[in-house]
Amino acid sequence: MSDCANHAVPATASCARCAAPCCDRCAQLTLDGTLCPRCAAAAQTRRGRRTALAIGAVVAVSVGLAVIAFASVGGANEVAPGSASGEAGSGERDDYVDSLRQRRDRAPCDRELVLKLVNEQNKQRRHTEALVDVGRFEAACGASFFQLQRATVYALQQLGRSADAVALESAMLVTDPRSSDLWWWRADDRAKAGQPLAALADLRQTFALARSASYSRYAAGLALDIAGAARRPCEAVFALDLFVAVQGGTLVERTERKVRALDAAEGCADRLGRGSAALSQGRSFKVTVGGVPGRFTVERQAGTTVLAVDFARRAGVVAGGEPTDTLLGARLVRGPIGVADLAIEGAVAPDVAVVISSDLPADIDGVLGLSALWLFETQVAEDGTLGLSGTSGH
Catalogue all structural domains in the chain, each as residue range(s) with its CATH number: 48-158 (no CATH), 162-271 (1.25.40), 274-390 (2.40.70.10)
Counting beta carbons within 10 angstroms of the beta carbon of residue 142, is it exposed (0 to 12), middle (13 to 18) or buried (19 or more)?
Answer: exposed
pLDDT at 85: 54
| Calpha distance 165→148 (Å, rounded) | 13
Residue 290: pLDDT above 50? yes
Q: Each residue of 85-95: pLDDT tens digit?
A: 566 655 567 89
Q: Each residue of 326-347: pLDDT tens digit?
A: 999 889 999 999 999 999 999 9
Angle (CA) 77-81-86 rounded to 5° is 175
Work out the average pLDDT over 217-225: 95
Residue 393: pLDDT above 70? no
| Residue 117 amino acid letter | L
